[in-house]
Amino acid sequence: MRENSIWRRYEVNDVIWATRALEWTLAAIFAILVPFRWIIWMMAVLYWVISLWVRKRQKGPNAHGLARFNQVMIPVDIFLLSLVVSVTGGLQSQAFILYSVEIVFLSIYSSIFWSLWGILAIWISYGLACGNWTNPELWWREFMLAFLAMAATLLGLSLRQTIKKLYQNSLHIEQLRALKTLQESVVKVSSLPASVDTILQTGIRLLDTEAGYVCLRTPAHKLQLISQVGLGAEEGRDLWESYELQALSRGVTMYYRNLENHEPAQVSRGLLARGQRELVLVPLRDQETIIGILGFAGVQKKTPLMDHEVILNGLAEMVINQIRFDSAQASSLKRGRLLAVLERVGRIVTSNLEMNTLLRSLHQAVAEELETDSFFVALTIPDDPENILMQYLFDDGKEYPPEIMDIGVGTPTEHVLLKQEPLLLKDSMDSSQPTGSLRIPKSAIIAPLAHEGQIIGAMSVQSYRICYDEDHMEFVLSVASQAAIAIQNAQLYQQTESIALTDYLTNLGNSRRFSIMLQKAVGHASRTGSSLSLLVIDSDSLKQINDHYGHIAGDTHLQIVANVIRRNIRDKDIACRYAGDEFAVILPGTRLNEAVAVGDRIRREMDGKFAWKDSMIGTTISVGAAEFSVPMTSEELFAAADRAMYDAKKQGKNRVAVP
């Protein structure tokens, strides 16, 4: 898209070439009657041969040579026309009118300065051809040629300006057409680097330059190269020592010419070594924010890079659009992944009401999307603001059992629970580490668990290897909002299940809980080979108390039995009211002799009296003890302990018996 292309478009060179052929033909006609006409004819034929040869060779990509041929021929024409005038009569020859054709050629191809020199050459040549400088008619004709030259020069100036405007408009149209084609092509490119490469390659071709690159601003306010064309790998790593940062801070297009005259430290590395002497930097502006720099560099051309404003702005806008599209696509993919995880969390919410299973599933869902070395869910304890229940804790490859822990003053977990706002911690954590991690993590996110405006706990993900960012925190917060609903449902389920499995009078497990827990205990002992014993306890006094003092006194007696049992067993032992005045105690990891000792402690504490109104009521219990052995079932173990209890009654009550 050089200027000669627009001259070809309007056929100026072709017209001048054809006009010159007509001019030489007329010169030959003027010389048809002179003695030396064969010389003129030979020159005309020679011109025709040469011009036809030049015209044939100046087609296609070499058409700009025709313009040079036409310009070089102007002084030759003036000399040969003067020769024609001389041999055809000098001042009497009418061939002088052909000078007007050369004046037109001068006005088209030359500036006013060179046109004046050309006109002076015509004056002198015509005077020499006539050989009579004192003849008034010569000066009259010279005056006519001068007037014609002045008019032609003014018209030529207007013509060149018009052609220049036509060229500029045509160039803009061609540039816009090329940019439109480029825009259509980059839409089909999938990745951001590939699409920016395509834009840079097209820009280099349109600008007729050698190198281009795009770098984006990072969160740390530095520049990161995302694509480059025409630069080596080494140069591509460090392109912004000074000029790029200046363009980034000023927010305007900056142009540098004669780079070799600048300080080497200010010039982007590699440009001078590759012979590139000019540089243009266009800020990439997304609305009011400058997000990066588009740069083009090359050797100095007749048209500076800065003059291609339409191309530069168009290319910059296309790069910005591709960055927006890539960002929107990445955001869409992120949203898609988030929705997929939240959909999975939703399934977990509806399908898991058992707390540990629920939290383990939540951990797995988070770990599939986010690198997680430590994960915990801590729940608040009603009426105990200084402690939390670490309901689920996974750290460094190991899952830990639930545990009540001190929140700790000033810890991040305390901040989240008190302020009810999330925390993103990275790189600056010290010994005041998040609750649950056994060593200081590299990064952590702690999100509050809130249900209907009330804080119920906190959820945290932590990493010993990577730093989390705002996108990671957004993901954790989305999961936490779903997890809070699931945890609340699980807590309600636990409360409902506890009510369904608890005896209303003694707050011990009921017969249903006893059956469930005995089956689990027998199954565990069968698999692991651990010891297991069972106590069956029956009141010796309930019937007499009910008959003499009423059922309220009998209920009090049962509550006393339940409290005595609680005081004499471990936390892992399970006590239940099986039926009426019959109780059962499951003793995991306990041999028969140890079980007998436990039963005897309970029996001795119950051997006494309790006050009821104005009376003292005596009470005793009978205890049967049995030990599990393979291949016993839970029913067989219970039957053995129950038989032992009846044996104790037959032997006189208030004692412990074994099968």
> Picking from 107-121, 441-455, 478-492, 617-631, which range would have the lowest pLDDT averaged per residue?
107-121
Task: Please name the helix (run of DSSP H) or strand (run of DSSP E) that holds residue 318, with its range, or none.
Answer: helix 309-351
Question: Has residue 477 been placed in a domain?
Answer: yes
Question: Has residue 564 been placed in a domain?
Answer: yes
Q: Are residues 206 and 60 in the same domain?
A: no
| Structural domain count, the chain | 4
pLDDT digits (tens, 9 = 90+) for 222-235: 777 788 887 765 44
pLDDT at residue 567, rounded to an integer: 92
Q: Are residues 280 and 427 in the same domain?
A: no
pLDDT at residue 32, rounded to an integer: 61
Main-chain dihedrals φ then ψ at residue 303, nearest 5 degrees? -100, 115
646 or 77, which is more confident: 646
Q: Are residues 488 and 518 in the same domain?
A: no
139 or 550, which is more confident: 550
Does residue 472 surpass a pLDDT of 50? yes
pLDDT digits (tens, 9 = 90+) for 15-66: 776 777 677 777 766 666 666 556 666 766 776 676 666 666 655 444 556 6
Q: Encode 531-554: b = buried (16+ Cβ within 10 Å), e = exposed.
A: bbbbbbbbbbbbeebbeebeeebb
At 363, the pLDDT band (50, 70, 90 cuts) reads confident
For the question of whether the overall pTM of this predicted structure is more than 0.85, the answer is: no
Of these residues, 581, 600, 607, 642, which one is catalytic?
A: 581
Q: Has 581 been annotated as catalytic?
A: yes
Task: Express as a percent the part of the chain with pLDDT over 70.
Answer: 72
Question: Has residue 134 been placed in a domain?
Answer: yes
Mean predicted confidence (pLDDT) in 249-270: 66
Q: Are residues 544 and 445 in the same domain?
A: no
526 or 183, which is more confident: 526
Q: Are residues 481 and 567 in the same domain?
A: no
Question: Has residue 487 been placed in a domain?
Answer: yes
At 10, the pLDDT band (50, 70, 90 cuts) reads very low
Query: For residue 182, how many C-alpha atoms fall within 13 Å in the half-sphere facing its CB?
Result: 28
Tokens 């290897």, residue located: 465
Q: Are residues 138 and 196 in the same domain?
A: no
Task: Express as a percent the part of the chain with pLDDT over 90.
Answer: 14
pLDDT at residue 236, rounded to an integer: 40
555 or 358, which is more confident: 555
> Picking from 46-50, 121-125, 497-501, which range would have the lowest pLDDT averaged per residue?
497-501
pLDDT at residue 322, rounded to an integer: 80
> Picking from 49-63, 141-155, 478-492, 525-539, which range would have the lowest pLDDT averaged per residue?
49-63
DSSP labels for 8-36? HHTTHHHHHHHHHHHHHHHHHHHTTTSTT
Mean predicted confidence (pLDDT) in 517-537: 92
Does residue 365 surpass a pLDDT of 50? yes
Instruction: Mention every residue, 6+ apart, whose C-beta is less than 8 A from residue 264.
Output: 272
At 260, the pLDDT band (50, 70, 90 cuts) reads low
Q: Are residues 483 and 574 in the same domain?
A: no
Mean predicted confidence (pLDDT) in 606-632: 87
Q: Are residues 415 and 518 in the same domain?
A: no
Of 469, 496, 523, the one marking the end of a domain is 496
Mean predicted confidence (pLDDT) in 485-508: 73
Q: Are residues 164 and 290 in the same domain?
A: no
Question: Has residue 346 been placed in a domain?
Answer: no
Q: Are residues 47 and 72 in the same domain?
A: yes
Does residue 591 surpass a pLDDT of 90? yes
Domain of residue 599: give its range: 511-657
Tokens 């952590």, residue located: 444
Question: Has residue 182 been placed in a domain?
Answer: no
Residue 502 has what DSSP assignment? Answer: B
Question: Has residue 187 been placed in a domain?
Answer: no
Q: Are residues 452 and 536 in the same domain?
A: no
Q: Are residues 221 and 315 in the same domain?
A: yes
Mean predicted confidence (pLDDT) in 350-372: 78
